[in-house]
Structure 1
Amino acid sequence: MNIVQPIRDAELIQEIKEFLKNWNERNYILFLLGINTGLRIKDILKLRVSDVEGWSIFLKEGKTGKLTEIHMPNELKRALRSYIKGKDKNEYLFKSREGKNKPITVSMAYVIMKNIEEEFGLERIGCHSLRKTYGYHHYKQFNDVVALMEHFNHSDPKITLIYIGMKQDEKNKYQKKFKI
């Protein structure tokens, strides 16, 4: 089983955003949505222009079936406004080149993440890294595991801390200091 990791380095995230902005606007917006909302990739790919016109995204999560509302931070909202300008309200945000109005596949999103991994020399990065990156940085900023646990629909704070890589960071910190 491949366990993907969050992108922990905030400076690296900025570099990735700049790279994506210059490489492909669709991929840049995909990355921004993932790291700023914590949504699963399948839910992100189902979004249409009309879903992101306001300040919040309202959707029924595919995995849990729960209705959720996610307020968009300013940077994401500004980028989305520019990206959707002139697009039809029914158009998928991440439109595939194949078909008339179909979203890219999870496999294509994975290829995008693998390109990022290769370009920046990262390891264990995949689509779920976007959601984990959101969680990791949310926890670092607010230190509120309960809010994050509820956002992710986890049943226990311990699960959330493991999920976002905090437990691994703690183990690594001790292991670096360990000596016999």
Structure 2
Amino acid sequence: MNFVQPIRDPNDIEAIKQYLKLRSLRNYLFFCIGIYSGLRVSDLLSLKVWMVRGKTRIDIVEKKNKNRKNFVIHPSIKEDLDRYIKNMKDDDYLFPSRQIKMKSKLSKQPIDRSTAYRMLNDAAQQFGLQEIGTHTMRKTWGYFLYRQNHLNLALLMEAFGHSDPTITLRYIGITQDMMDAAILQLNY
């Protein structure tokens, strides 16, 4: 299993957002909700239109740990989100696949996590980013929350379900940043 990294540069985040928006509003919103919510990909894929239509917050029970999570829909994407769901039905998945599932023969199912992975990696490659995966959005969310206010460590531990601060710092890439900075300061 590869260890993926957060996106550390706000310019890269903005570039990926614009790249995705030009290609697919669905993929753009998937990425944006991911980096503004800290949800796991499995939870992003389970979102339905009724959960966001006419709302400023999303309330969800996380699949992995059954914890309730309630978070603000970031104002910067609200207009695009409203336009995106305008002609969708309330019970539609927010991020539907355009394909019919081969095994189940079902249509209007959410995109597969492998599709999400490819979408994120394709965008990352355009900007020379490596070690990007489906957890990158969640790690990016945590990374920037921590960088903006170190007091959020306890909140991040709770959000990620971690019992130790060192696990959280390693997960969001802060430990690697600190190691890199320390090595760069070496002077023999």
TM over 0.5: yes
TM-score under structure 1 length normalisation: 0.95
Q: Deviations over 1:10-41 (max 9, x none)?
A: 01111111111111111101110110000000
Q: Does the CA contact (< 8 Å) of 1:36 and 1:76 recur in 2?
A: no
Equivalent residue number for residue 117 of structure 1 = 124
Structure 1 residue ranges, 4+ long, deviating more than 2 angstroms after superposition:
76-79
Opposite residue 90 of structure 2, the aligned amino acid is K
Task: Say which SS state the counterpart of residue 69 (structure 2) adopts.
Answer: strand
Identity of aligned residues (%): 41
Opposite residue 95 of structure 1, the aligned amino acid is P
Q: Does the CA contact (< 8 Å) of 2:139 and 2:171 recur in 1?
A: yes
Q: Does the CA contact (< 8 Å) of 2:16 and 2:124 recur in 1?
A: no
* Correspondence 1:44 to 2:44: yes
Displacement of 1:117 in angstroms is 2.1
Equivalent residue number for residue 18 of structure 1 = 18
Structure 2 gap segments, 5+ residues each: 101-106
TM-score under structure 2 length normalisation: 0.91
Structure 1 gap segments, 5+ residues each: none
Displacement of 1:142 in angstroms is 2.1
* Correspondence 1:80 to 2:81: yes
Displacement of 1:57 in angstroms is 1.1
Equivalent residue number for residue 61 of structure 2 = 60
Instruction: Give, in whole Å, the separation in 2 of the partners of 1:172 and 1:133.
Output: 18
Opposite residue 150 of structure 1, the aligned amino acid is E
Equivalent residue number for residue 2 of structure 1 = 2
User: What is the RMSD computed on CA atoms of the aligned residues?
Assistant: 1.2
Equivalent residue number for residue 149 of structure 1 = 157
Q: 1:60–1:113: structure 2 CA closer, same or farther, 3 Å change rule?
A: same
Instruction: Give, in whole Å, the separation in 2 of the partners of 1:165 and 1:78.
Output: 32
Count of residues in correspondence between the two structures = 180
Opposite residue 160 of structure 2, the aligned amino acid is F
